[in-house]
Amino acid sequence: MAFLTAVRSLFVRLRHWTRHHGGEALWAAVFALAFGVPLAVYFAKYFIELPAYKIYVVAGSHYLNKASSDRNTESQFKSSPELVGLNVDGVPVQLEVVELPDDRPETAEAEAQRLAGKDDTLLVIGHLDSEPTEKSLPTYFKARPQVPFIASVQTDDNLLNKALLVKACGGSDSPCYDGLKPLPYLQLSPANEEQAHWAVQFATEGGRHHFLIVESDTSNETYSKSLTEAYKKAVDELITRDPDTTKHFLSMADLWRSKLDEDLFDEDIDCLLYAGGLDDAPPLLKKIAEIEKDRGRVRNRPASGPVMVILDDSVVEQRLEGTKFDVIRVNITDQADAEDYRNGISVYGLDAIAIATQLVNDMNTRGLDFNYGMKAFFRQQTGADVRRNLVRVMQDNFTYRSSYCGTKKTAITPNSRTVYAFDRGTRVNGMFHVWERTGFDSTDVDRWHPPRTLIRGTAQPHKKSKATGGLTASESGKKLGARTAGPSTALALRLRSG
C-alpha cells in the first residue's frame, strides 16, 4: 500500500512539472532527435565493426590437394583474384574452406545445418560428391532466407530431387520449394547424361560397338546409379540408329566372379563403360587384362582391337596421382582438361568462386532492399540480410542473366574465359574431355576440345589417341563409315562391394 502511494505521488509531481515546463520537454525531445540520432548513426558507422560475410567452400577431403606448392587447392581458392576487395556496403566478403572429415551424407548434412544457422553465411560452394550434396541441399533450401548453393564438380543429373520434396524439408509447414520461384542454385559441371554421351561418342569413333556397363560404387551410390542409367540411355540412342542391332541386359546381381569372363567371351564385348569410384577400378582392370590375355589365346581378337575401358570422372581424385595404370590401356572421362589436372588446377572450384563473386557484384549493382537499408542505417545488418538479397538476385538472374564467366586462370587464353550457360540452374553448354591414362600420366585424346598444350604453347602438340589407331577425327569418320553394321550389345553388371 505504501508503494502504490509513493508511485501515485511521483506521477502527480511529474504532471505538475510538465504543466509548467512543457516547452522545455518539447525542445528536449527535438534536440534528442536532431542530435542524438545522427550521433548514434555516426558512432554506429565508425565505431561498430561488423564481421565479414563468408563464402564457404565445403570440400570432400579427396578433392583437396594438400601439397605445399602452388598445387595446394585451398591456397588456390583463397588467392582467387576475384576476391580482392570484394565487399557488400563496405563489409568485406571472405572465403573459408571447410574440409569434411569423411564423405558420409550425414556428415555433409550436419555441416549444412551449422552453416545455415550462422549469421555470416552468404553462399556455399559444394566441392564434394553427389550423394552428400543431395543429402545436404534440403537443409540449405529450407533455411530462411535460403542459402545459395553452387555445385562445382557434382555430375548427378538429379541432385535437386530431394530438395524439391516437401517432406525432405520438414513437412508441409516448411517446404524447401514452393514451386513458384527457382531455387538459388547453380550446377557448374555438365551432368552424367553428357558424360555418357561423350564416352559412347569416343568409343564409336574408335570402332567400338558392343558395350558392357559396370556399376560399382556403394560409397557414392547416387552418382553411380545416375551414370549407369545415363550409359544405358546413350547406348539405347546409338542402337536406334541401327535397326539391326540388339541389346542384352544382365541382372545387376553378383556377376563379378561367375559371369564376367563369360560375358566378355560370348558377347564379344569391345568397350567397357565404368560407373564407380577409384577403389574398384584397379582390380577390375587387372581382371580385364587377364581375360584379354586368355581371349587372345583361344581366338582372334575383334576387328576393333582390345577392349576399350572408359572410367568415369569419379576416379579423378587426389589418389589418382599415385595410381599407376599399366596392366591395360585406360581412358577416363572428366570435365576438366588433362593438362589442368597435371598442373593441379582445380578448374571447377576456381570457376565457382569467380561466379560467386559475379553474383555478389550483381547484387551490389542492383541494390539491396528496404529492410536491409533500415538495419544498415544503424549498422545492425547481418549476413542473413545480405543473403536474402542474394537469393533475390539469383532468382532474377534466371530471367535476366543466363551465363557467367570462369576465372582467367582456367581460361584457354586470358581473353577467352570459359562461359557457363544455364537453364534454371543446370549447365547446358558443357562437354566432357576424354583422357588416356598411361602409367602415371594423363593426356587429352578427344577431338572436340581445343588442345590446351597448343594454345598455351607449353608442350608438344596434341596426342593422337591410341584407341583409334592414331587416326584423326576425319580419318576415324571414314573408317566408321566403311564398317559393316553389326549387332551392338549393352550389358549392365554391379560389382560386389569391397
3-state secondary structure the chain: CHHHHHHHHHHHHHHHHHHHHHHHHHHHHHHHHHHHHHHHHHHHHHHCCCCCEEEEEEECHHHCCCCCCCCCHHHHHHCCHHHCCCEECCEEEEEEEEECCCCCHHHHHHHHHHHHCCCCEEEEEEECCHHHHHHHHHHHHHCCCCCCEEECCCCCCCCCCCCCCHHHHCCCCCCCCCCCCCCCEEECCCCHHHHHHHHHHHHHHCCCCEEEEEEECCCCHHHHHHHHHHHHHHHHHHHHCCCCCCCCCCCCCECCCCCHHHHHHHCCCCEEEEEECCCCHHHHHHHHHHHHHHHHHHCCCCCCCCCEEEECHHHCCHHHHHCCEEEEEEEEEECCCHHHHHCCCCHHHHHHHHHHHHHHHHHHHHCCCHHHHHHHHCCCCCHHHHHHHHHHHHHHHHHHCCEEECCHHHCCECCECCEEEEECCEECCCCCEEEEEEECEEEECCCCCCCHHHHHCCCCCCCCCHHHCCCCHHHHHHHHHHCCCCCCEEEEEECCCC
Rg of the chain on CA atoms, in Å: 30
pLDDT attached to residue 231: 94
Rounded CA-CA distance 375/371 in Å is 6
How close are the terminal C-alpha atoms of the chain, in Å? 82
Instruction: Verify cis geometry, omega within 30 degrees of 0, for the bond prior to 92.
Output: no
pLDDT attached to residue 129: 92
pLDDT attached to residue 255: 47
pLDDT attached to residue 332: 96
What are 432's three cell numbers? 566432357
Grid-cell match 542474394, residue found: 390
Rounded CA-CA distance 335/315 in Å is 12
Rounded CA-CA distance 137/176 in Å is 9
Rounded CA-CA distance 82/92 in Å is 13
* Residue partners of 121: CB distance under 8 A and separation at least 6: 53, 54, 56, 115, 147, 383, 384, 387
> In sequence order, what are the beta bridge partners of 215?
275, 494
What phi and psi, each to the nearest 5 degrees, are found at residue 375? -70, -35
Rounded CA-CA distance 241/485 in Å is 11
pLDDT attached to residue 400: 83
Q: Which amino acid is at 391?
A: V
What phi and psi, each to the nearest 5 degrees, are found at residue 150? -115, 120
How far, rounded to the nearest angstrom, does the alpha carbon of residue 448 sit from its chain's CA centroid?
A: 23
Q: What is the pLDDT of residues 400-439, one digit of tens each?
A: 887 999 999 998 877 889 999 998 889 998 899 999 998 8
Averaged pLDDT, groups of 10, the chain, 498 residues long:
71 66 61 57 59 96 80 92 96 97 94 96 96 94 95 92 65 59 93 95 90 80 90 92 58 50 69 87 82 63 73 84 81 93 92 98 96 88 95 91 90 85 89 91 87 55 46 40 45 42
* Residue partners of 88: CB distance under 8 A and separation at least 6: 53, 122, 360, 363, 364, 368, 386
Q: How would you classify residue 317: left for phi > 0, otherwise alpha for psi between -120 and 50, otherwise beta? A: beta
